[in-house]
Amino acid sequence: MDRKQLLREKRHRRVRKKVSGTAERPRLNVFRSLANIYAQIIDDERG
């Protein structure tokens, strides 16, 4: 695994440790493709 990818994964784990969705305040995930924009509301407590 190269250094750039290792640092990216380390950063990802650090951010995900702090960010989690609850029933009261779910997490918003947005994916943008060339044609569309997709959004997901995620409650990490329910899975």
Which SS3 state, helix, strand or coil, does residue 11 take?
helix
Confidence (pLDDT) at 11: 94
30 half-sphere exposure, CB direction, 13 A CA radius: 3
Q: Which residues of the chain have pLDDT under 70?
A: 47
| pTM for the full predicted model | 0.53
How long is the chain? Answer: 47
Q: Widest CA span of the chain, in angstroms?
A: 39
